Amino acid sequence: MPQTRPLFAAALSMFPLAASADVPINVVTWGGDFTAAQKVAFADPFTARTGIPVNLIDADSVGAVIKAQVAAGNVTTDVASLGQADAERLCDEGLAEPIDPALIVAGADGTPAADDFLPGGLSECFVATDVYSTVIGYDAQAIGPARPTSITEFFDLQKFPGRRGVLKEPRFTLEMALMGDGVPPGQVYDLMRTPEGLDRAFAKLDSIRDQIVWWEAGAQPVQLLADAEVAMTMSYNGRLFAAHVEEGRPFEILWDGQVYEVEGWMIPKGAPQKDAALQFVAWSTAPEPLARAAEQLSYGPPRASSQALVGFYKDGKTPMAPHLPTAPENLTSALAIDVDFWAENDVELIERFAAWLAAAPAKP
């Protein structure tokens, strides 16, 4: 593990002990391995430092919980873990407290926080904690001696025969279709804002539609690979990593054309422990806590200076940095989800995608 304790201690010293350190803060989050990682990297060390207990509360739909609490005037949540799009939507609706960016610690190398975060990682009511991505996965033993090196090969049924696992929704899928047709990441959303661009994305999906196996839940694509139902599949990077490291599966990730999304903290309007919540948000999004979180779960830290601090996976033997969406080499041809685009176009594109699915010919 990198030797960063003096730097971390200096970051901690910026946050004095809260006046009511015996009163817990309630953090609503997603459950499972995600909550477990937040407990190890954020909650337990924060309590050890400040004396403030942290209750981690799991919810199936964090955004819905926050909306309901604020609407009822009975807010019991102090901090919520949300995707960037949901957090910004709640902020726009006046359901979130502003977070002063001056509270956020500078990067490990002294870079101002605003420049250290990935785009979208630090905004009016949101501070990022992690980055996950949708990637292409394949079974290295089953696919043959050649290995795919470009997302265009996901759509190349001659070079890599076999069925393809595809997420059954337009978000992520249309972006990957365009990149699979040779569109550079930086041009994808400009193109998707045009009728011609959308036609091109659906045409690319048409080129493999009789070989598509659709999936909807995150566990499905890994199972499709394990059962040899597909040669390659879209998948969430964390699922592939867990199958590879925890289960010994020979699954590999093609990072070219990954589409990543940022998740992080927001504070609901009227949070009962607002001051302690701000302290928790600021402390947990300093460079080293974010690096420690990335060692627990293969979601990348949203700060550039955190990446260099990442050590080994919790097994103590797997170097974690190369397996993260935020590794510099994995970001080379990555695309960040455009939350504004989807806020403006999701209803229309969900309808068009459903119509396209309904018109698809039956598989033989």
Please work out, in degrees rounded to the nearest 5, the angle formed at the alpha carbon of residue 214 by the alpha carbons of 222 and 327: 45
| CA angle centred on 157, ends 155 and 161, rounded to 5° | 130
Q: What is the pLDDT of residue 50?
A: 94
Predicted local confidence at residue 130, as pLDDT = 97
Q: Report the predicted TM-score, pTM, of the whole model to 2 decimal places.
A: 0.89
CA distances from 6 to 13, 108, 131 (A): 11, 11, 26
CATH level 2 (architecture), domain 5-131+261-323: 3-Layer(aba) Sandwich (3.40)
pLDDT of res. 21: 65
Per-residue pLDDT of the chain (364 residues; tens, 9 = 90+): 343 434 444 444 554 544 456 799 999 999 999 999 999 999 999 999 999 999 999 998 999 999 999 999 999 999 999 999 999 999 999 999 999 999 999 998 899 999 999 998 999 999 999 999 999 999 999 998 899 999 999 999 999 999 999 999 999 999 999 999 999 999 999 999 999 999 999 999 999 999 999 999 999 999 999 999 999 999 999 999 999 999 999 999 999 999 999 999 999 999 999 999 999 999 999 999 999 999 999 999 999 999 999 999 999 999 999 999 999 999 999 999 999 999 999 999 999 999 999 996 655 4
User: What does the longest C-alpha to C-alpha distance in the chain come to?
Assistant: 68
Same-fold call for 5-131+261-323 versus 133-260+335-357: yes
DSSP state of 209: G
**One-letter-per-residue 3-state SS of 277-330:** HHHHHHHHCCHHHHHHHHHHCCCECCEHHHHCCCCECCCCCCECHHHCCCCCCC
Whether the CA torsion 42, 43, 48, 50 is positive or negative: it is positive
Q: Does residue 10 come out as left (phi exceeding 0), alpha (psi in the -120 to 50 range) or beta?
A: alpha
Residues 204 and 196 sit within 8 Å (Cβ to Cβ): no
Cα 1 to chain centroid distance, Å, stands at 24
DSSP, residue by residue, 118-151 = PTTSEETTEEEEEEEEEEEEEETTTS-S----SG
**Residue 94 buriedness (CB in 10 A; 0-12 / 13-18 / 19+):** exposed
Question: Can you tell me the distance from the alpha carbon of 238 to that of 241, in angstroms, rounded to the nearest whole number?
Answer: 5
**Which residues are CB-contacts of 107 (< 8 A; sequence separation ≥ 6)?**
113, 115, 116, 287, 303, 304, 305
Q: Which amino acid is at 172?
A: F
Tell me the CA distances in angstroms from 221 to 121, 202, 261, 298, 322, one per residue in order: 28, 21, 19, 17, 22
- Give the Å distances, CA to CA, from 71 to 50, 68, 126, 269, 350: 31, 5, 20, 10, 28
Q: Please give the C-alpha separations between residue 37 and each of 53, 56, 81, in angstroms, as whole numbers.
A: 17, 11, 13
Residue closest to 300 by CA, chosen among 279, 282, 320, 278: 320
- All structural domains of the chain with their residue ranges: 5-131+261-323, 133-260+335-357
DSSP code for 96: B
The conformation of residue 1, written as its DSSP 8-state character, comes to -
Domain range 133-260+335-357, CATH class: alpha beta
Pick left, alpha or beta for residue 162 (phi over 0 → left; psi -120 to 50 → alpha; otherwise beta): left
Spatial CB neighbours of 357, under 8 Å, sequence gap ≥ 6: 168
Cβ pair 57, 79 in contact under 8 A: no
The pLDDT of residue 360 is 60
Query: Residue 1: its pLDDT value, please?
Result: 37
SS3 breakdown of the chain: % helix, strand, coil, rounded to 5? 45, 20, 40
The confidence score (pLDDT) of residue 14 equals: 52
